[in-house]
Chains A and B, each alone.
Chain A
Amino acid sequence: LAKTTQPISMDSYEGQEVNITCSHNNIATNDYITWYQQFPSQGPRFIIQGYKTKVTNEVASLFIPADRKSSTLSLPRVSLSDTAVYYCLVGYGGSQGNLIFGKGTKLSVKP
C-alpha cells in the first residue's frame, strides 16, 4: 500500500537548521521526490526535487539515501518567514494518479 508519511509538526528557532523527513517505502523505481511549501490561504509552492543522493538549491537541500525509502528536506538557518506547512510528494509508479502527498508538516519558527 502506497503511503507517504511525515511528522505532523515541528518547532524551531530562528537561525537553526531544520530537517523534515518523509517516509515512502514503496516509491517507484523511476519516480522522484518533490517538496512543497504552503502558507495559509495560498496554494503549495515548489521547493525542491530529487531522485537520489543530494540536491541543493538556493533555499533548501534534499537528502535521499541509496534505498530511497525516505528523504529529508533540510532548511538552513530558518527565519520567521519559513513558518509554513511542508509537503512531500512521491510517485508510486504507473501513472500520475499514483502521486501521493504526505499529510504535511507544520513548521513553527520562533524568535
Chain B
Amino acid sequence: DAGITQSPRHKVTETGTPVTLRCHQTENHRYMYWYRQDPGHGLRLIHYSYGVKDTDKGEVSDGYSVSRSKTEDFLLTLESATSSQTSVYFCAISDIRDRVGYEQYFGPGTRLTVT
C-alpha cells in the first residue's frame, strides 16, 4: 500500500469551531488531493495541490482551505465547521507523468462529525 496516513481518523466537533485535517505521504508524489464522500454523491474533489505552495480548487471548495508547505504534508482546514461538512474525508496522491493518467492512491479516510 502507498504510504499515506491521515490524522485524525475520527473527529467530533461543534458547529463554528475550526478543524484541520492532515494528510501525510512518504512517496514523494507531486499531486495531493482532498475529497469528501457522502451517501448519494460519491467522491467529490475539494482542493488539490500540484506542488509545494501550489494549490487549486475542486468541485466543492466553498468553506474549505488548504495548505502545502512541504511535499509530504497537505492540510485541509474548515475555518468554521458546519453540519453540512459532516462527511468522510479522503486524501489521495498521484505522480502524473507525461499525461499518462490519474492513478491515485487513497488514504484510509477521516470521519468528521459536526454537531
Give residues in A with beta carbon < 8 Å to B: 30-32, 34, 36, 41-46, 49, 51, 87, 89, 91, 95-97, 99-104
Given A96-B31, A97-B57, A43 and B101 contact (CB-CB distance below 8 Å):
no
Which stretch (B11-19, B43-51, B72-80) binds chain A? B43-51
In the complex the two chains form, what is the Cα distance from A89 to B28 in whole Å?
23
28 contacts between A and B (CB under 8 A): A30-B99, A31-B102, A34-B101, A34-B102, A41-B109, A42-B109, A43-B90, A43-B107, A44-B43, A44-B106, A45-B106, A46-B104, A49-B102, A49-B103, A51-B101, A87-B42, A89-B102, A96-B33, A96-B56, A97-B48, A97-B56, A97-B59, A99-B102, A100-B45, A100-B59, A101-B43, A104-B42, A104-B43
Contacts of A32 in B (CB 8 A): 100-102
In the complex the two chains form, what is the Cα distance from A34 to B100 in whole Å?
11
Interface residues of B in 74-113 (CB under 8 A from A): 90, 92, 99-109
Give residues in B with beta carbon < 8 Å to A: 31, 33, 35, 40-45, 48, 50, 56-59, 90, 92, 99-109
Contacts of A46 in B (CB 8 A): 103-105
Contacts of B101 in A (CB 8 A): 32, 34, 49, 51
Are B108 and A43 touching (Cβ within 8 A)?
A: yes
Contacts of B103 in A (CB 8 A): 34, 46, 49
Contacts of B107 in A (CB 8 A): 43
Contacts of B90 in A (CB 8 A): 43-44
